[in-house]
Amino acid sequence: MKKEIIYICDDGSRYNTEEEAKDYEQLCSEVASVMKDLKPLAYTNGEASNFVQHDIETVKKVFKSFMEICAKQIPTYKYTFIECGNGKRDISHASYILQGYGEENNCRKLDFVLSRFYRISFKSGKEYTQPCFVINEDD
C-alpha cells in the first residue's frame, strides 16, 4: 500500500504538493480581487435576471487587469494577453491560449473566469446570462 498526501484548495481543486496548492490559492485570490468590481448577476425566485448593467470603463479596467494576471501565468503569450486587455486583439485569442494549456499553469481556472467576459458587452456594459445575447445585442 502506498500513502499519498493530497492538498485540497478552498474550491475543491486538488494538488499533490503544498507549493502547487499555495500557488493556486494565490492565483484565486488575485483573480477575486480583480473581479470584485463587477456586480454579481441578480436572481429573482432562483432565476437569473436578463442582465446586469456594469459601467463600461469598469468592465474594461477589470478585463485589462485580468489579462495581466493571465500574462503573468503564461509569460510565453504575455503580449497576446496584453493586446487583448488593451482591445487590440479579440477575446477569442486569450480563450484559445487558455483552453490549449488546460491544467498547466492553472489555466482551467482562468478560462472559467474568462468565460464571464464572453457574457459582457464591451459596448453597453450589460452582462447577460448567455453569450449569445451579447452577439445578438442589437437585434
How many percent of the chain have pLDDT more than 90? 44
The secondary structure element, H or E, covering residue 15 is strand 14-15
What span, in angstroms and rounded, lies between the C-alpha atoms of 136 and 139? 5
Q: What letter represents residue 53's amino acid?
A: Q
* Residue 68 domain boundaries: 40-135
- Domain assignment of residue 49, yes or no: yes
Q: Is residue 91 part of a domain?
A: yes
Q: Taking residues 103-107, report their average pLDDT.
A: 69
Q: How confident is the model over 27-72, as pLDDT tens digits?
A: 999 999 999 999 887 665 556 667 788 899 999 999 999 999 999 9
Of 135, 89, 106, 97, nearest to 22 (Cα)?
106
Note whether 115 and 31 are within 8 A (CB): no
- Bigger pLDDT: 4 or 114? 114
In this structure, is residue 4 part of a structural domain? Answer: no
The answer to the question of residue 7 being in a domain is: no
Number of domains in the chain: 1
pTM (predicted TM-score): 0.85
